Chain A
Amino acid sequence: MAKLQKFVVVLLVLTIVLSAVSVVFNLIIFKMSSDNSKVLKQVSSSNSGNIGLVVESSSSSGGSGG
């Protein structure tokens, strides 16, 4: 009876430790994939161009009325 109890306790501790290890490994994997997605993250770019002209006034061709 005592041996069985001891066996169950040891197994329980072992299970908890293994589960903790598994959680840690998965957290590391998640972190690594998260970093990777940052490297491959979509990025944007913006650039500008200009158009222009000058409209001359036609005042030189006209005179002032009196």
Chain B
Amino acid sequence: MASSKFLSILAVVVVITSIFSIGLVYLSARSLFSAISGYATSTGEANLTVESQATINFTTISISWGSGRVTPGANGASLSSVEGTNNVSGGNWSLITAGGLRLVNLGNVNVTLNLSGTKTAAAMIGGTGPVYKWNVSNLEASSCLNVTGGTDATPLGIYYDVNTTATALFCGRFRYADASDSIMINFNLTIPSDSIVGALGDTITATALATT
């Protein structure tokens, strides 16, 4: 008698569990079949996936001031890469490519943009009081924004010492929209009269990481 009662209770429990399982299977199957590409509903459905791709590229990859020297008697020379300005004072260098290094976001996703150099002012230029600075500015308006899409956290157009110890975040959001996907990196150098002689230079690496 007791076992009969136990069996009855068990039967009820098993029935409830079975109904629950049927519901689970139904929901799972519905999710699965709706996710399968090519599954046709009564209205038809076509699926495709656009892959995100982060690609940045320097459109101006090299800046050179050519060959020159500090004006005799001067303490040093100032060199700039900014377009349309007097790029050299206190020396006879001549800027070959004006307008800075130019970087474009060729991908289809917003990215963060970090920059790094490999040399400090002292290592690249040497002498007394060398200066090696860079700044980032928009080539196309609103290309370089902060993470939330507002004005950039690192103010644009301001010169900072080139960062060699770690990559510096310049754009929390470097946009990919065609009308707003280009920036320029300008440089300001001071070559003291007792600087290193010969070919001086540095490599600037831009690193982008796709964001949502």
Contacts and interface: CB of A to CB of B under 8 A. Distances in A.
Interface residues of A, number: 41
Nearest to A12: B14
B54 A43 contact: yes
Given A47-B206, A53-B93, A29 B28 contact: yes
A53 B58 contact: no
B7 interface: yes
Nearest to B52: A40
B197 A55 contact: yes
Interface stretch (B16-24, B136-144, B151-159): B16-24
A31 to B, nearest CB: 10
B164 interface: no
A40 B58 CA distance: 25
A64 interface: no
A18 B25 CA distance: 7
B69 A56 contact: yes
A56 B67 contact: yes
A57 to B, nearest CB: 5
A5 B207 CA distance: 69
A57 B199 CA distance: 11
B168 interface: no
B25 A22 contact: yes
Contact of B210 (A36, A43, A47, A54): A43
Contacts of A61: 72
Given A4-B7, A22-B24, A61-B72, A46 B208 contact: yes
Interface of B: 3-4, 7-8, 10-11, 14-15, 17-18, 21-22, 24-25, 28-29, 31-32, 35-36, 49, 51-58, 60-70, 72, 79, 81, 93, 101, 103, 107, 111, 185, 187, 189, 191, 195-211
Which 4 pairs of residues, A with B, have the shortest CB-CB distance?
A: A52-B201, A18-B21, A25-B28, A54-B67
Interface of A: 1, 4-5, 7-8, 11-12, 14-15, 18-19, 21-22, 25-26, 28-29, 32-33, 36, 39-58, 61
Given A42-B52, A49-B103, A50-B201, 18 more contacts: A5-B7, A8-B7, A12-B14, A15-B14, A18-B18, A19-B24, A21-B28, A29-B35, A42-B210, A42-B211, A45-B111, A47-B58, A47-B206, A48-B61, A49-B58, A49-B101, A52-B200, A54-B199
